Structure 1
Amino acid sequence: MAWPSSAEAAGPPSVPRRQTIGLIGGLGPLACARFYSRLVELTDADTDAAHPEVILLSSPAVPSRLDHLLHGGPSPAPALREVARRLQAAGAELIALPSLTSQTYRCEIAAALDIPVVDMLTALTRHLHAAGVHRPALAVTDGTRQVGHLHSALTAEGLHPVLPGPQDQERVQECVHLVKSGQVDAARELFRSVVGAPWASAGDAFVIGCTDLSPLVTEPPPHIHDVGDIYARAVLAYAAV
């Protein structure tokens, strides 16, 4: 008869308690898939059971954030609130909203809940400040630029954002459009020219400021900061109890 080892006799190792993450998906779908993948990859875990519980809801009923911000289309806030309520009802203890443009509606979503919505703007600003970045070159959507919430958050901390001119901004937005339409290879090729453009070199770091763009650079060099990765780390830190 084989006797159990002392480790086996002691039972399985204790699993750290983490809050259940409610993930609002579909903003866009590939961005959400990439974000969930990063949650898994960035979790310090050696067993399946050590990963946080994640409830993901990707709803096609959420209207376009860009159409609302740029063209006066229907607000996505009611649909986003409904998705968040459904996640809370399913047991989520915090909400992750992995879209910088959609962070425009974060306060409206949070007001409808009894649980927090993790703030991406604060996470990004703190990360850049801690990294010693002073002049971040921002690749963001037209909607994020128009709202100006990221620019305000950065300048409030003494950072001096660098933004592309009209033609380069069109290329950034075209990359987003290509990703959303499933043309990822074309988007990746175009995004290389965005990262290598002169305006980007005017900053001391380059910020991928849209999670739709996150899948286009799988292993970013040290001077490139991906808002998706930064937010994933912030969500995991928030979920730790």
Structure 2
Amino acid sequence: MSGGGAVITKRLGIIGGLGPLATVYFYELVTKMTDAAVDQEHLEMIILSKPSIPDRTEYILGRSMKNPAIPIIEAGKTLVSLGVDCIAIPCITAHYFHDILANGIEVPIIHIIQETAKHLKEHGIRCAGIMATEGTIYSNIFQVELEEQGINTVIPSGEKQDYVTDLIYRNVKASRPVEMELFHQVSEELRTKGAQVIILGCTELSLIKRDYSIGAGYLDAMEVLAMNSILLCDGKLKNEYKSLIT
């Protein structure tokens, strides 16, 4: 469709491939959540997909010496050279390196974890459960940001964290059917521990929300990233996405 429309002055850069399916879905989310009547009212985006970037969790847990921050910064610099005004990284564990990345890349990087914590506070949440990679849980990056907003956190037991790892790596990343019984068992444990809302704190878990009925009481951090990408780039957000808690 052709026609006029508002000119979007800011261009979004996306460091993708972490993993590839999550990047595809993030692009879809930004497009779907934008209030646009014509093509010209959508965001300009440049996606640089680098699945070769080493696994973030393996590095954080000391099981790999390959530092993923180095190629992420290289990707960011490439996007800056192409004229982006800000950067989104649809990989939550990568935000463990946020300060290092921010020092190495010359445009703002949207902090998905900080924005998720703010969204929960704005909606009066006092206790949140976290479903995420081992690296994200171990590094406490969600716990710190949530506690700064006055929100208590609960995390899975060791057994249930293994379930989350299976869901992320052996189901979604491996393009295999999702074992939803594992998902529901983790959710039940977190709610028993007091979670009012459960954060889907890994972009692979976002794909489970997309493809399966998971019910109420969840917040998809990748939707938070998409929302903030639209707003930071001066796009218009559809009204139905102003509250993202299911």
TM-score normalised by length of structure 2: 0.87
Q: Which amino acid aligns with 1:204?
A: Q
Q: Which residue of 1 aligns with 2:142?
A: 150
After superposition, the Cα gap between the structure-2 partners of 1:161 and 1:33, relative to the gap in structure 1 and judged at 3 Å, is same
Identical residues among aligned pairs (%): 26
Q: Which residue of 2 aligns with 1:236?
A: 230
Q: Which residue of 1 aligns with 2:17?
A: 26
Deviations 1:16-61 (A, max 9, x none): 4241100010111111111111000001101111100110011132
Q: Determine whether 1:211 maps to 2:206.
A: no
SS class of match (1:118): coil
Contact 2:8 2:42 in 1 (8 A): no
Deviation at 1:207, TM superposition (A): 1.1
- d(CA) in 2 for partners of 1:96, 1:233: 11
SS class of match (2:47): strand
Deviation at 1:125, TM superposition (A): 0.7
Deviation at 1:12, TM superposition (A): 4.7
- d(CA) in 1 for partners of 2:161, 2:38: 43
Q: Where does the alignment leave 5 or more consecutive residues of structure 1 unmatched? A: 1-10
- d(CA) in 1 for partners of 2:123, 2:55: 33
The RMSD of aligned alpha carbons is 1.8
- d(CA) in 2 for partners of 1:47, 1:79: 36
Contact 2:178 2:208 in 1 (8 A): no
Deviations 1:70-103 (A, max 9, x none): 1341110110001111111112111101111100
72, 81, 91: which one aligns with 2:73: 81
Q: Which residue of 1 aligns with 2:112?
A: 120
Deviations 1:133-180 (A, max 9, x none): 111111011101111111011111111001111111110111111211
Contact 1:164 1:200 in 2 (8 A): no
SS class of match (1:186): coil
Q: Which residue of 1 aligns with 2:219?
A: 225
SS class of match (1:62): coil
Deviation at 1:221, TM superposition (A): 4.2
Contact 1:38 1:232 in 2 (8 A): yes
Deviation at 1:113, TM superposition (A): 2.1
- d(CA) in 1 for partners of 2:3, 2:172: 43
Q: Which amino acid aligns with 1:141?
A: T
Q: Which amino acid aligns with 2:172?
A: V
Contact 1:191 1:216 in 2 (8 A): no
Q: Which residue of 1 aligns with 2:242?
A: none
Q: Which amino acid aligns with 2:44?
A: E
- d(CA) in 1 for partners of 2:201, 2:9: 27
> For 1:42-53, what aligned pairs fall within 5 Å after superposition?
42-53=33-44
Q: Where does the alignment leave 5 or more consecutive residues of structure 2 unmatched? A: 236-246
> For 1:172-191, what aligned pairs fall within 5 Å after superposition?
172-177=164-169, 178-183=171-176, 185-188=177-180, 190-191=182-183
Give the paired residue count. 229
- d(CA) in 2 for partners of 1:60, 1:31: 11
Contact 1:21 1:94 in 2 (8 A): yes
- d(CA) in 1 for partners of 2:15, 2:72: 8
- d(CA) in 1 for partners of 2:5, 2:32: 20
TM-score normalised by length of structure 1: 0.89
- d(CA) in 2 for partners of 1:82, 1:116: 15
> For 1:90-169, what aligned pairs fall within 5 Å after superposition?
90-169=82-161
SS class of match (2:198): strand
Deviation at 1:231, TM superposition (A): 1.1
**Which 10-residue stretch deviates more, 28-37 or 12-21?**
12-21
Contact 1:179 1:187 in 2 (8 A): no
